Structure 1
Amino acid sequence: MQNPGEELVGEYLKHILGCDFVEYNLYTPNIQGEIDVVGINIKAKEVYICEVATHLITGLQYVKNNQPDNIERFYKKFVKNIRHVEECFPNHKARFMLWSPIVKDQSSNAKHNQRRDIKTIQDQILTEFGVEIEPIVNQKYLKCLSELRSYARNETKELKSPIMRLFQIEEYLLKHIERLER
């Protein structure tokens, strides 16, 4: 079952990027593991491969043996994801994304810096595989949420996703209250 962070990403893939199919926690049998969210746009022959980390207090912070593990963890995940796409979607344009609402940017001299971790992951994957990882973090994440809210505001049919339905209720309620207060 997907978590709310993964559902937001899936809804963005459906409603904003036009994916026909979205799968959550896709098990990759030939390469052990799973991918958080995968979206497929059939007409455009695009596949979106998304890793999602929704940590609100600590930001993007994974730990292994009491040490930060962002770089190794996401490097391994994206290598696995790239191999899966090469095997299962050889004729599709692939977009690899890392979604995280809060990524802290500690000082440049800090031993651990979440923004720097993402840059390191991007550089390693680009150098080794020629693949770009698109971070959807902080302001860009907020922009994507705004796009989903705008979609919900303008949609008249009932949206099936609980998160999208909540956005729709909030947006329609705001319109209603504005009319009442005029």
Structure 2
Amino acid sequence: MTQPQPGEQLVGAYLRVIEGCDLVTYNQRSMERGDQTELDVLGVKSTPEGQRLLACEVVTHLDGQLYSGTPSTDEWAEYGNASYQYSLERISEKFERVAGYLDVVFDDLSLAEIQLWAPYVSEGHQTDGLAEVVERTETEHEPSVRLVINDDYTERIEELRHAAGASSKDYSETGFRYLQILEGMR
């Protein structure tokens, strides 16, 4: 298993500390031969209604661009330049693979949610395209989809920072421990 990236560590810390997930795991890979699915962060929380699943894709690019590349089709052409189109194509494909992975691994997806976490996504074509990706994914698959981007991302990380400043408890989450150190400096 690969070491979680810094952005993934923050998301995992949020799932464990704020969401109260019983299990947080990083870089889950499909066991199916030839399947390249990798899930950045998976949180599982036991609730009276069943297992709540939070499957998170994390893109920590700080320049507003999710991915750069050339799209393989013109499916997303109305949503801006080639890089925007490629980003939407790639995220749509990731959501498809994650939904398929969850369907194979878990029996009940009624409480499952796919999340995209990104600190900065350019407003306009890219956010409009992401809304379309969400709509398509929710139409075709059982898990709901939530975008944790821009202000929502900032609010959640601020909430995590506040929790770090108020607690010295060891949650076994590296990202949270870094925040505890920073918030506890005198």
> By the TM > 0.5 criterion, same fold?
yes
Residue 138 of structure 1, aligned match among 125, 150, 160: 150
Is the counterpart of residue 64 in structure 1 residue 70 in structure 2?
A: yes
Bigger Rg over Cα: 1
Render the CA deviation track for 1:14-33: whole Å, top value 9, x for unaligned.
00111111111100122432
Moved more, 52-61 or 144-153: 52-61
CA–CA separation in structure 2 for the residues paired with 1:53 and 1:34: 13
Structure 1 residue 123 displacement after superposition: 1.7
Alignment partner, residue 177 of structure 2? 165
* 1:37-79 deviation line (CA, Å, top 9, x unaligned): 1111134511110111111124323323693212211111111
Equivalent AA in structure 1 for residue 122 of structure 2: K
Assess, with a 3 A threshold, how the Cα gap between structure 1 residues 132 and 42 changes in structure 2: closer, same or farther.
Answer: closer
1:145 shift after superposition = 0.6
Amino acid paired to 1:115: T
Alpha carbon RMSD of aligned pairs, Å?
2.0
Partner of 1:22: 24
Structure 1: which 5+ runs fail to align?
107-112, 177-182
Listed as ranges, the matches of 1:71-86 within 5 Å are 71-86=88-103
In the alignment, structure 2 segments of 5+ residues that lack a partner are 72-80
* Contact 1:71–1:120 under 8 Å retained in 2: no
Asked if structure 1 preserves the Cα contact closer than 8 Å seen for 2:116 and 2:147, the reply is yes
Residue among 1, 4, 10 paired with 1:2 = 4
CA distance, structure 1, for counterparts of residue 136 and residue 82 of structure 2? 20
Mapping of residues 31-42 of structure 1, within 5 Å: 31-42=35-46
Instruction: Give CA-to-partner distance per residue, 1:150-182, whole Å, 9 cap, x none.
Output: 111111235543432232123222xx4xxxxxx
* Amino acid corresponding to residue 14 of structure 2 in structure 1: Y
SS in 2 for 1:45: strand
2:58 is matched with which residue? 52
**Other-structure match for 2:121:** 103
Counterpart contact for 1:71–1:118, Cα < 8 Å: yes
Higher RCO structure, 1 or 2 (CA under 8 Å, sep 6+) = 2
Q: How many residues align?
A: 168
CA distance in 1, matches of 2:171, 2:21: 16
Hey, what does 2:75 align to over in structure 1? none
Q: CA deviation at 1:136?
A: 0.2
Distance 1:126 1:73 in 2: 17
Among candidates 5, 10, 13, match of residue 11 of structure 1? 13
